[in-house]
Amino acid sequence: MIQKIILDCDPGHDDAIAILLACASPELEILGITTVAGNVPLDKTSYNALRICEAAELHHIPVFAGMSRPLVRTLFTAEYVHGKSGLEGPTFPEPKRKLETDHAVDFIINQVMNDKDPITLVPTGPLTNIASVLIREPKTAERIKEIVLMGGAVYEGNVTPSAEFNIYVDPHAAKVVFDSGIPITMIGLDTTHQALATPERVAKMKALGTPISEMVIGLIEFFQGHHRLKYGMPGPPLHDPCAVACVIDRSLLTLKPMAVEIEISSELTMGRTVCDIWGTTKRELKAQVATAINADRFFELLTERISRYPLP
């Protein structure tokens, strides 16, 4: 069965690859791409989404700009990872089309409330848009099929010792989402740091010899700079495509139901996803939390889908 999804993102190198994976997958119907401030400010994440769609000739997929700042906190961005534009590395064509006029939050609400089929939301950036949807129209919580998100960590963070970037940027939004009662699948750093674009895996993409595969390689090569310096990794982790891959083929990941609480009080641990691995607290099991991914199968899927460009 084809799943209807909305991609909510903050492109971002790995967001860009997630978009390409989703749009080349016949298992998914992409209703739209919504953007949020995160890796870089909203004007740049929105422009980057348009540039990706232009490069891949995804002219049929509408792009909607969303929230420009977190619900409570000041925006924290990641140019130190993604470069000034948020999408440094390859050269992108200038977009020929503009953003849709509707706000991303309005678009999501209208789609969720009016579509005859349940919709899965796939956020790969801060959860500000999704929380704003739930705050503005609480009835959406009853109609969203699932939220499959990239964010959080069971153990270590990446922007602080406690917190992963997407949750840290807007922890208050994350709390709204995790407390909503909507089925949630959380794919955090513990899993995405297993999905490394190693030289061997990149070589298989390079062998495709297409403009899109070369663009993906350019994204990976720039993204690698930060991860080699900070973590000594042999290749960068492709965080956001893991969330899309989970929607395509859930068997790629090992998942465990857990109670998950979002820390919003302590500056030391702000944005931590407190995952009760062993059920110690007896709290409500709010999410299916990924603990592992079959990285070889994931990269086989990604490479095969990248090979489909240009799409018919």
- Give 237's DSSP letter: B
CA-to-CA distance for 204 and 49, rounded, in angstroms?
Answer: 26
Q: Name which of 150, 154, 159 is nearest 14 in CA terms.
A: 150
- Give 252's DSSP letter: G
The Cα 150–Cα 189 span in angstroms is 8
Q: Which residue bears the tokens 């739930």? A: 134
Residue pair 15/223 in contact by the 8 Å Cβ criterion: no
Question: Between β-strands 273-276 and 184-187, what pairing exists: parallel, antiparallel or unpaired?
Answer: unpaired
Cα 170 from chain centre: 14
Parallel, antiparallel, or unpaired for β 144-150 and 253-262? unpaired
Cα 237 to Cα 224: distance, rounded to the nearest angstrom:
8
239 is catalytic: yes
Q: 258 - beta bridge partners?
A: 287
Length of the chain: 312
Written as six digits, the tokens of 35 are 């953007």
Across the strands, what pairs with 121?
Answer: 6, 147
The two beta strands, 3-9 and 28-35, are parallel
Of the listed 13, 82, 193, 239, which one is catalytic? 239
What ranges make up the beta strands (E) of 49-164? 63-65, 119-123, 144-150
* E-strand stretches of 154-219: 184-187
Helix-then-strand count for the chain, H and E = 13, 9
List 5's β-bridge partners, or say none. Answer: 30, 120
Catalytic residues: 239
